[in-house]
Amino acid sequence: QDYDLGDHPDFMHKEISEQPAAARRVLGGRLDDRFATAHLGGIRLEPRELRGIRRVTFLGCGSAYYAGQMGASLVEELARIPADAEPASEFRYRNPVVDPDTLYVAVSQSGETLDTLMAVQELQRKGGRVVGVVNAVGSAIARQCGQGIFLHAGPEVSVASTKALTNMTISFALLALLLGRVRDLSAADGRRLVSALLDLPDRIEEVLRSEPEVQAVAKQFAGARHMFFLGRVRGWPVAREGAQKLKEISYIHAEAYQASELKHGPLALIDSSMPSVVILPDDELYAKNLSTVEQIRARGGPVIVVTNADVPGDLADAVLRVPRSEPELDPVLLTIPLQLLAYHVALELGRDIDKPRNLAKSVTVE
Ligand code: G6P
């Protein structure tokens, strides 16, 4: 029945809708309320080894890379370990310095992406420690890594990744929680995250109920030739993933930028024909992001705000709202309206949603 569309017009819509259930599966049995930590049975590293990790590097391609960027910020925030993400395709070609105290995380929905597999093999050849975060059990990357976290998102058919990406980010929150709790993260903070994670599937369900509003916004903006996606810090990988989705399935040119860099170049492009999607989390950077919205509007640029803050409806040309979670987990919820936006823009334009031109679900060649 996984390959049966049911009531959905296509697989992307089906897979977007499956996210609450998929999120419940990736969390299932992995949260420990008593010790305020995560259990990841597939990662066979002793607490002593976990404490010895000096850096975490996420490697993946496409959406898996953007998810990795969300993972890097979760690890930095919760475990206070330096962390970064790099496209696996770049990593394998630049003769990377392999550091024995780094934990490398290979991220892949299919587990078959050749660039990611080659990066894993190169790392292992040079003594690197790699764990896989993979959806497809028994896949090449899962086998090559030998340990890691399975995503349990169920089969994903649509080329544009939705439920697998959401589960990647949730898995990274679990990993960050585990790393944090053998280091400096307090039990109180751990508990705060455990309960927010348990709550997440219901919050995702809530976001999905706003689909009619997103659809109306998509109709309003489907005529755009170009779009900006802007975010700061936690919002930056959200913006990148949002731009990626729109490009992939609607063929509208979308560019993601750090909101903080707007004044250093891209502001010159703002006019009434260049809409911007601004990620506006209700966090410590709220005022900064609000002024980004104002700067764009002052130059006649249309703005779509994606937010969990109590903003007035006339703050922007469109406001897409998501419920609050804990700030570290905001990216999970803020990403979902962007999936729906790309989806409904593509639908409006009559695109082949599940099979965008020139793309493959998994790229197993050079
Ligand atoms: C292809 C797909 C992307 C996907 C990427 C990584 O390029 O078109 O949607 O994000 O591969 O796939 P993986 O299976 O490794 O997550």
pLDDT tens-digit map of 35-72 = 999 999 999 999 999 999 999 999 999 999 999 999 99
Q: Residue 141 CA: which ligand 1 atom is closest?
A: 15
Take atom 2 of ligand 1 and give the residue whose Cα is closest: 361
Say what percent of the chain tops pLDDT 70: 99
Q: What is the mean pLDDT of residues 257-284?
A: 95
Encode pLDDT of 144-180 as tens digits.
999 999 999 999 999 999 999 999 999 999 999 999 9
Q: Please identify, by atom number, the ligand 1 atom nearest to the C-alpha of residue 110.
A: 14
- Burial tier of 229 (Cβ tally within 10 Å: 0-12, 13-18, 19+): buried
Q: pLDDT tens digits, residue range 296-319?
A: 999 999 999 999 999 999 999 999
What number is the average pLDDT over the span 262-267? Answer: 90
Residues with CB under 6 A from ligand 1: 61-64, 108-110, 113, 116, 159-161, 359, 361-363
Give the separation between CA 36 and CA 127, rounded to whole angstroms: 32
Q: How far is the CA of 190 from the centre of ligand 1 (A)?
A: 32
Helical (H) or strand (E) element with 346: helix 330-348
With a threshold of 0.90, tell me whether the complex ipTM lies above it.
yes
Q: Is the pLDDT at 366 greater than 90, yes or no?
A: no
For residues 341 and 321, give the distance between their C-alpha atoms in angstroms, rounded to a whole number: 13
| pLDDT of 365 | 83
Please spell the DSSP secondary structure of 206-219, one letter per residue: HHHTTHHHHHHHHH
Tell me, in angstroms, the distance from the centre of ligand 1 to residue 103's CA. 22
Say which range, 33-42, 157-166, 183-192, 356-365, has the weakest mean pLDDT: 356-365
Instruction: Give catalytic residue positions.
Output: 361
What is the pTM (predicted TM-score) of this model?
0.97
Ligand 1: centre distance to CA 264 (Å)? 31
Closest ligand 1 atom to Cα of 113? 15
| pLDDT surpasses 80 at 1 | no
Strand partners, 103: 56, 129
CA–CA gap between residue 229 and residue 216 (Å, rounded): 19
In ligand 1, the atom with minimum distance to the C-alpha of 116 is: 15
The answer, yes or no, to whether residue 98 has pLDDT greater than 90, is: yes
For the residues 265-278, what does the mean pLDDT come to? Answer: 95
Residue 2 has pLDDT above 90, yes or no: no
- Strand order of the sheet with strand 226-231? 253-258, 226-231, 276-280, 303-307, 318-321
Instruction: Give the chain's end-to-end CA distance (angstroms, integer).
Output: 33
CA of residue 363 to ligand 1 center, whole Å: 7
With cut-offs at 50, 70 and 90, classify the pLDDT of residue 348. very high
Mean pLDDT of 332-351: 98
Q: Please name every residue paired with 55 in a beta bridge, in sequence order, or none if there are none.
A: 102
Q: Whose CA is nearest to atom 3 of ligand 1?
A: 62
Closest alpha carbon to 333 in 199, 243, 218:
199
Q: What are phi and psi of 231, to 5 degrees?
A: -160, 160
State the pLDDT at residue 351: 97
Q: Measuring from atom 5 of ligand 1, which residue has the nearest CA?
A: 62
- Is the pLDDT at 124 greater than 70, yes or no? yes
CA-nearest residue, atom 4 of ligand 1: 62
Q: Please tell me the residue having the least CA distance from ligand 1 atom 15.
A: 108
From the CA of 317, how far away is ligand 1's center (Å)? 32
pLDDT above 80 for 233: yes
pLDDT value of residue 89: 93
- Mutation pick for ligand 1 pocket among 59, 105, 112, 113 (CB with most ligand atoms within 8 Å): 113
Gyration radius from the chain CA atoms: 20
State the Cα–Cα distance between residues 325 and 89, nearest whole angstrom.
Answer: 33
Query: Cα of 116 to ligand 1 centre, how many Å?
Result: 10
Please tell me the distance from the alpha carbon of residue 243 to that of residue 361, in angstroms, as a whole number: 18
Mean pLDDT of all residues belonging to the chain = 96
* Mutate which of 61, 139, 151 for ligand 1 pocket (most atoms within 8 A of beta carbon): 61
Average pLDDT on 351-361 reads 92
Which residues on neighbouring strands pair with residue 220, listed in sequence order?
A: none
Beta carbons of 71 and 107 less than 8 angstroms apart? yes
